Amino acid sequence: MKLVIASNNAHKVEEIKAILAPYFDEILSLKEANLAIDVVEDGETFEENARKKAEEVLAVADADAALSDDSGLMVDALGGAPGVHSARYAGEGHDDAANNAKLLAAMQDVPENARACQFVSAIALARRGRETLIRRGEVEGMLLRAPRGQAGFGYDPLFYYVPAGKTFAEMDASEKNSISHRKRGLEAIREALAAEQA
């Protein structure tokens, strides 16, 4: 069984390989599979975007399955924003710093007890001749008023994970990956695959 991951992010690919290796003989990134495909993520939910990306990659891949994730930050006080627009929250062409600045401005009058947020990752596994598996992983946090930490990317410096007493950007990669929303989504996919084989 060959799996293509709809990503060229080396860290993401390694994490997926570590969790799903028992179910696939070969796991490749887009680059390793010689695929150059850019799927337009125009869904209204993380699940819609993940499904579309996985199914479109599988349609052009020489593989048995394709896996995609769509993830972002949902802030309760903002009705779930930035949500599916997390990467482009400050507009096309803007970077993490601009996205974080816009989020902090939107949250400046929100009190400490109302700053709950979640990192969400929807994982879709498209397979030939079978239904697409979709699972969601979430991790709860609180949104800080200023960034802390130098590691990670995106909203990690603002995402305070209470059980660890630090932001995602203050964690090393192994610590963050052990509790991340993507890991939880991937483990849910792994459980679904194990249940199918049982």
Q: How far apart are CA 5 and CA 76, in angstroms?
A: 31
Q: How far apart are CA 110 and CA 121, in angstroms?
A: 25
In angstroms, what is the C-alpha Rg of the chain?
Answer: 17
Backbone angles phi, psi at 69, to 5 degrees: -130, 150
Q: Which of 25, 38, 69, 70 is catalytic?
A: 70
Q: How far apart are CA 34 and CA 9, in angstroms?
A: 15
What stretches of the chain show up as alpha helix (H) in DSSP? 10-20, 46-60, 96-106, 173-179, 181-197
Confirm whether 172 is a catalytic residue.
Answer: no
Catalytically active residues are 70
